[in-house]
Amino acid sequence: MAAELPGASGFRFRRLAKPEEFRAAEELQTLGPAGASDSPAPVSLMRAAQDHGGVVLGAFTDIYLAGVSVGFLGFDGSSLYHYVQRFVVRPEYQNHGLGFRLALAVRDEVRKQGLESLRGTVDPLESRAGFLLFHRLGATAERYLTHYYGQQGAAEAPDRETDRLEWRWPFAVPAVEQHLAAPRSPAPPADPRFASAPRLLETEAGDSGLRLPTAVAEPSTPAAQVEVPFDIDLVRQHEPSGARRWRHAVRDAFRAAFDLGYSVAGFEVLEVEHERRSAYLLTAPSTTAPAA
């Protein structure tokens, strides 16, 4: 296993080519906490996607595969786009900007095919993925998919419900271009829109001391927040019934908001009294820029 993390420039991004690279990609997708991810794309499917309009792109340090994006050509009846089925960074490489750089590399690769957007789905309870998509990349979402893959995992698993947010990341939209061009250092101030956005979920500390939802409201203001746990794996581990409560409360909040035409326009992690609290920003139809 790689002992040291290379700096940002130490990674090379390229399409997977050899059978052993696809095997490494399949294995990589099984890492991380159980119940926290989708089933791995098998070697045969990745190989076929790579040769027939898809993109299976790896982040390599030397020959070691540190991250992979697996996707195929998508068509919704009117537009073509690249659909990301799996996007995973090896746990020991997470939080060092690799996911961000891999997303940009996928964007550059699919642009060579003449495509101008990525789409995919994400578990709304996965705070880090939400941050990467909606805070760092400027993606948007306006569809909530309940039980998208049906129930998965063992009957006793804390959270078997496979709800997903469908996200879109159009490249050539001014809002996204400005978002990516904004300086990251020093860290930008918190999105001011959060200050005037009421929380749709009320929460309080449960038996384990972890924050759990207690009530859900419909949005009625131009902007609103949907809180999610900063670390859902901790909740799954220490308060399994709490993970289910989060799942249902977040589902109710998103479904109510999307039914009213709101869409996801941001994501923040705010430090409140020494506690990190994650939240999506939702904006009402009239305040949202049109998506490509």
Ligand X SMILES: CC(C)(COP(=O)(O)OP(=O)(O)OC[C@H]1O[C@@H](n2cnc3c(N)ncnc32)[C@H](O)[C@@H]1OP(=O)(O)O)[C@@H](O)C(=O)NCCC(=O)NCCS
The footprint of ligand X on this chain (CB under 6 A) covers a number of residues equal to 26
How remote is the C-alpha of 193 from its chain's centroid? 21
| Contact predicate 169/139, CB 8 Å | yes
Q: Whose Cβ is closer to ligand X: residue 152's or residue 218's?
A: 152
What is the amino acid identity at position 188? P
Q: Is 57 in the site for ligand X (CB under 6 A)?
A: no
Residues 41, 89, 110, 249: which binds ligand X (CB under 6 A)? 89
Site string for ligand X, 170-209 (x = CB under 6 A): ----------------------------------------
> Is residue 65 within the footprint of ligand X (CB under 6 A)?
no
Which member of 24, 57, 70, 98 binds ligand X (CB under 6 A)?
98
Q: How far is CA 6 from CA 59, 95, 106, 209, in A?
A: 12, 13, 20, 37
> Does 100 help bind ligand X (rule: CB under 6 A)?
yes
Helices (H), the chain: 19-28, 43-51, 98-111, 127-130, 174-181, 232-238, 240-259
Residue 134: which of 14, 225, 34, 41 has the closest Cα? Answer: 225
By the rule CB under 6 A, 230 interacts with ligand X: yes
Of 52, 54, 44, 53, the residue nearest 22 (C-alpha): 44
Alpha-carbon distance of 54 to 86, in angstroms, equals 12
Give least dist CB 48 to ligand X, A: 21
- To the nearest whole angstrom, how small is the minimum distance from the Cβ of residue 240 to ligand X? 19
At 180, give phi and psi (nearest 5°). Answer: -70, -30
For the segment 251-280, give every residue that binds ligand X (CB under 6 A).
269, 278
Mark the segment that binds ligand X (CB under 6 A) among 13-21, 93-101, 158-166, 189-197: 93-101
User: Is residue 152 within the footprint of ligand X (CB under 6 A)?
Assistant: no
Q: Which residue is nearest to ligand X (CB)?
A: 99
Q: Is 140 in the site for ligand X (CB under 6 A)?
A: no
94 binds ligand X (CB under 6 A): yes
CA distances from 34 to 162, 210, 254 (A): 13, 20, 25
Name which of 100 and 194 has its Cβ closer to ligand X.
100
If one asks whether residue 292 binds ligand X (CB under 6 A), the answer comes out as: no
Alpha-carbon dihedral angle through residues 116, 179, 281, 273, given to the nearest 10 degrees: 140
Distance CA 177, CA 190 (A): 19
For ligand X, which stretch binds (CB under 6 A), given 70-78, 96-104, 207-215, 244-252? 96-104
Q: How far apart are CA 291 and CA 168, in angstroms?
A: 8
Q: Is residue 158 near ligand X by the rule CB under 6 A?
A: no
Q: Which residues bind ligand X (CB under 6 A)?
A: 32, 37, 87-89, 94-100, 120, 122, 126-129, 131-133, 136, 230-231, 269, 278
